[in-house]
Amino acid sequence: MLLVAFVVALSACDKNKENPGNNPPTDTSMPKISRNFDDLTAWYAEAIKRTHPYATSAWSSDADINDFNLLLVNQEKTRICKITPEGKKELPQSEWSEELKNELSNISSYGYTVIDGKYHTLIVCDFAFFDEKAEITKQTLGYVVSDEEIVYEWLALFYHESFHQFVQKAHKGWKAEQTNSDRSQTYPIDYQPRIYRKLALIALKNVWLDESVRDAQYARAKYWMDKYEKNYAQEAALIKNYDIDESTAEYFSRYIIHSAFPSYDALYDIDGRNISLGVDAESYMQCVALQLLRREGRLTEATEACKSYSLTPINCLLKNVQLPANYDESQDEADIKRITEAMDKAFGNNPILKPIGELTARHKAGQQCYLGLRTKAGAYVDLSGEYNLAELPGLRCMISLSSSIETYEIESLTVMGRGFYYLVPLAGENVLSLSDVQPSDELSPVEGVTIEQKAQLTAVNEEGVKVKELPADVLVGKDKFGNKYYICQFTN
């Protein structure tokens, strides 16, 4: 998510204010937070006034603050406020450009997009999202997120995604986007690589909180990262670029907000309620390495290593640390137990993950039960995980509680696919159907799937009566096992 930087080490007072979880800071000098658009725009105007001054010092002059403009949109999409350090300005509809209107129409429910040429970040304040997010986090992580936390999360999203767009993707010293990357993990979950990486991250958090343990904890982090990279070399290679991209954006975002609001978590809740999260979450968690590199006066070294994709932040931080010769792993038993128990709770009996097994069984049985979709605008989807399937090499599975295509709901959606194409089980023949099937000579968009036909996708009601033709091209194909796929690419 986000961070910007302000150079000095935390004082003892700052350390005491360090947030133990993701709870937002309490600042009575700020405007109130409510589900009222005017209240929210007033809050963001004051927040950005306080946080923006830290942007350039957080990274370098590459982070040009003039590129960072927030456009907040009300739930009905009838009002837009541009928010800069100078304050907020409502844009009358007569001034909305065609580009802005098009981008706005592409966001369904809560959403986020960047209007490239004008350096604006667009966020829709959909208050229904507050309740959806609360319910999803309650079911997936076991806690209810507050309105305040969501508002800070959006502020973090603004800085984090702006860093991706206007620093990394603008190639201000950065290499072009890297290939051969993968941020998913294998299901069933292998706990060992998650434990190794998290132990290294916990060690770095210990240094962040207490510099006196620096040498011992750096050696500890070095040991576990070395073990991870040797035993899980393929995953380490595939996640490297994500480690760099996401940790830098997260550091930038969190440092900025922490600098203005010291009780805001400067890290990524490494060993709190995020402790069970997967390999891609650990990429964000590496923001702790950047925080430490900055504190040690090595931020310039780190920025150059990240821009060239030569070293991840954690490897940059530890590159001169000697690997312990006879490390005693038993000293980490308590942390290993804590991580294991958290992962057992998240993955052991989590009903949300049941569809993975069901879907795998249906696939292996050759059932015709998949719809693949790739959508430009998309609807609000909250994913509780993304996984590679050990039993089905090459297939990726994403778990979601709910999704929607315009007003057509698919509940408890499970998505499978390769790359940007996703395969999902049809929730029921009464929800979506295929029509006008015809031969297709198009190349297969999914490796290993031969396309035989082309079709259109329609929405039907419970009686099976056609309601609407959806803007989608559907390719019908099968793999070498005879399993059938409906691969759908939305065209609008």
**Residues in contact with 361: Cβ distance below 8 Å, sequence separation at least 6, in sequence order:** none
418, containing H or E segment: strand 414-418
Are 277 and 383 spatial neighbours (Cβ–Cβ below 8 Å)?
Answer: no
- The answer to whether residues 121 and 71 touch, using CB atoms and an 8 Å cutoff, is yes
- Find out whether 289 and 250 touch, Cβ atoms under 8 Å: no
Domain borders along the chain are 20-168, 185-346, 352-490
Q: What is residue 110's predicted lDDT score, i.e. its pLDDT?
A: 54
Contact 374, 488 (CB under 8 A): yes
CA atoms within 13 A on the CB side of 264: 24
Give the SS3 label for residue 336: helix
In the prediction, which pLDDT does 394 show?
Answer: 57
Nearest-angstrom CA–CA distance, 164 and 170: 8
Scanning the structure block, which residue is given the tokens 């240094």?
Answer: 207
pLDDT < 50 positions in the chain: 1-21, 368-384, 400-414, 417-432, 492
Instruction: Output phi, psi for 225, to 5 deg.
Output: -70, -40
pLDDT of residue 183: 74
pLDDT digits (tens, 9 = 90+) for 321-356: 999 999 999 999 999 999 999 888 877 766 656 666
Q: Which residues, 6+ apart, have CB-to-CB distance to 316 below 8 Å?
A: 289, 293, 298, 301, 302, 305, 306
Q: Is residue 77 classed as helix, strand or coil in its secondary structure?
A: coil
Give the pLDDT of residue 227: 97
DSSP 8-class letter at 345: I
User: What integer pLDDT is reported at residue 403 of this predicted model?
Assistant: 40
Of the candidates 326, 384, 372, which has an alpha carbon nearest to the alpha carbon of residue 473? 372
Contacts of 348 (CB under 8 A, 6+ apart): none
Is-above-0.85 flag for pTM?
no
Specify the pLDDT at position 4. Answer: 20
Q: How many CA atoms lie within 13 A of 404 on its CB side?
A: 11
Locate tokens 């961070």: which residue?
Answer: 3
Do the beta carbons of residue 402 and residue 413 sit within 8 Å? yes
Q: Read out DSSP for 283-334?
A: HHHTHHHHHHHHHTT-HHHHHHHHHTTSS-HHHHHHTTSPPPSS--GGGGHH
> What does the block give as tokens for 129?
């999202």
Q: What pLDDT is attached to residue 427?
A: 40
DSSP H or E stretch at residue 343: helix 333-343
| Rounded distance between C-alpha atoms, residue 314 and residue 244, angstroms | 9
> Residue 332 in contact with residue 340, Cβ under 8 Å?
no
Amino acid 369: pLDDT: 42
**Partners of 186 in beta bridges:** 388
Determine the pLDDT at residue 420. 34
Structure tokens at 382: 């909250």
CA–CA distance, 180 with 409 (Å, rounded to integer): 34
Sorted by sequence, the CB contacts under 8 Å of residue 477 that are 6+ apart come out as 444, 446, 449, 450, 451, 452, 453, 484, 485, 487
Give the torsion through C-alpha atoms of 29, 35, 41, 43, to 10 deg: 10
